[in-house]
Structure formats: C-alpha cells, structure tokens
Amino acid sequence: MTIYGVAILAACLLVGDIAGRLIGAAIGVEANVGGVGIAMLLLLFLLGRDQSRLAASPGVRSGVEFWAAMYIPIVVAMAATQNVAAALSSGAVAIIAGLAAVALALIAAPLLSRLAGGGA
C-alpha cells in the first residue's frame, strides 16, 4: 500500500512546513526555518513508533519504506534549488561560501573514508 507511505510523507511535510514557518515568524525571518528537518524527524519518529503495524502488512511496509527513502533526496534537491537561487541573488560572498563548503566536503570525504578504514 504505497498510498499509506504517501499519506505519512505528506502529513510530515505539511507539519514540518507549518512549524518551520512559525519558527521563522517567531525569530523575525520571512522563511521556513528548519521545516525540512522537523518533517524528517517527524517521519522517523512515526515510522519508529509504528513498527508493529508496519510489520503486520508487507505491502504497507514496502510502501512506507519506499517513500521514506525517496523523501530525503527529493527534499534535499528542493532545498538546494532554493539555496542556489538565494545565493545567486545575494551576491558573490554567498557563492564563494557555497563553493568553499563543496570543496571542503570533496576534500574531507576521501580523508574520512581512509580514517574509517574504507580504503577509498
């Protein structure tokens, strides 16, 4: 029952979006502050709490697991698009900071892999 997974995902996204907008309004920012993270945590909480019902039906379990796996890449892509648009309109400092963060991540990933024994 993939639709059950979609319903849980949609509910988490809506609650996260509303909570993020309320946090933004509380701190005086006209933006969604932390809504994606709240939605992801809520999704994990609901899935962890509902394991007994999910285990009872393999169809429901596969639907929820599919959408839970799809949620993170979709939301990260959406957030990245918004961040790029904001950076381009904000000027060179935001773009340089973004490029520096990407370069640092590209340098750190192989180093951390070697330290962890991955042998990259």
16-74 pLDDT, tens digit each: 889 988 988 898 878 788 888 888 788 778 777 766 665 556 766 676 677 667 767 77
Q: How far apart are CA 10 and CA 108, in angstroms?
A: 35
Model pTM score: 0.53
What is the reported pLDDT for 18? Answer: 92
The dihedral of CA 69, 74, 79, 81: what is its sign? Answer: positive
